[in-house]
């Protein structure tokens, strides 16, 4: 089935560890996005990508790394996790037309101890 | 820059009550406007959208009208159900250019009691 899937759904790790969140979409959408959702802040954009090998910073990029070697995948890496990165992370994709919506995955709940 | 302001809530209603969630925006030109809904434990889903002034988006009994003169896109439903309990986000994308980033409001938690 077409869609956008995130893995894992839940992750617990320790400060200083590296962790990678995966995102895969089957629509061949050109644009992909990573958001974090925190109480009191709503959704904040971390990074986005307009196409394979093209990425750009969003509102809160510090401490995160992204790559996009294939159109369908957009992994997000926390190179050295900190407690402040405990959050729910959402991946989204769109076809890049401004009047069309973004499609969201079900999220990854990440806890950093 | 672009911004979206929505009533923060939480909003608690009884079943069959009337719902309004206010949303106003600041943007240049004519952005596209969206309402997303997030049910517990899930990602965001598009609820409705409007892409030009005076357009009315509607879905599942919810409606919102794009008001350019008041820069607003208020969400309404005439009779809410328990199953409408969720977080609602107002959002916009700028028109044209190559910037397709969504700007979100902070979300409004709606709880509907039987």
Q: Distances from the Cα of A63 to the Cαs of A14, A19, A113, B17, in angstroms?
A: 15, 11, 16, 45
pLDDT (0 to 100) of residue A2: 63
pLDDT tens-place string over residues B75-106: 999 999 999 999 999 999 887 655 567 889 99
A48 closest CB neighbour out of B32, B34, B101:
B101
Q: Report the mean per-residue pLDDT for chain A.
A: 92
For a pLDDT cut of 90, what percent of chain A falls above it?
82
Range A8-29 average pLDDT: 96
- Residue B106 Rama label (left phi>0; alpha psi -120 to 50; beta): alpha
SS3 (DSSP) at B47: strand
Which range has the worst mean pLDDT, A4-13, B69-78, B87-96? B87-96
- A105 vs B contacts (CB less than 8 Å): 43
Let me know how many helices (H) and strands (E) chain A has, helices first. 0, 11
Please compute, for residue B52, the number of CA atoms within 13 A of its CA located in the half-sphere on the CB side: 1
What is the structure's pLDDT at A25?
96
**Average pLDDT, integer, range B42-57:** 93
Q: Tell me which residue of A39, A84, A43 sits closest to A64, measured CA to CA.
A: A84
Q: Do A99 and B89 touch (CB under 8 A)?
A: no
Mean per-residue pLDDT for B28-33? 87
The token pair that represents A14 in the structure block = 């320790």
- In A, what residues contact B, Cβ < 8 A? 31, 33, 40-43, 45, 48, 50, 58, 90, 92, 94, 96-99, 101-107
Instruction: Name the band, by pLDDT with cuts 50, 70 and 90, for residue B34.
Output: very high
């Amino acid at each position: 089935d077409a869609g956008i899937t995130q893995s894992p759904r839940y992750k617990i790790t320790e400060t200083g560890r590296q962790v990678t969140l995966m995102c895969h979409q089957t629509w061949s959408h050109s644009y992909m996005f990573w958001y974090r959702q925190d109480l009191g802040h709503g959704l904040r954009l971390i990074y986005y990508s307009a196409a394979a090998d093209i990425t750009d910073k969003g509102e809160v990029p510090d401490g995160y790394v992204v790559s996009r070697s294939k159109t369908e995948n957009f992994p997000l890496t926390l190179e050295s996790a900190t407690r402040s990165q405990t959050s729910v992370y959402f991946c989204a994709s769109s076809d890049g037309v401004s009047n069309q919506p973004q499609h969201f995955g079900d999220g990854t709940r990440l806890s950093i101890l | 820059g672009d911004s979206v302001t929505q009533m923060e809530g939480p909003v608690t209603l009884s079943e069959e009550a009337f719902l309004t969630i206010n949303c106003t925006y600041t943007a240049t030109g004519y952005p596209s406007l969206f309402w997303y809904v997030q049910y517990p434990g899930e990602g965001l889903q598009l609820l409705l959208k409007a892409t030009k002034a005076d357009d009315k988006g509607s879905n599942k009994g919810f409606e919102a009208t794009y008001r350019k003169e008041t820069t607003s896109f208020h969400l309404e439903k005439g009779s809410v159900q328990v199953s409408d309990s969720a977080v609602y986000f107002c959002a916009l994308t700028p028109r044209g250019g190559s910037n397709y980033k969504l700007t979100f409001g902070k979300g409004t938690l709606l709880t509907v009691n039987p």
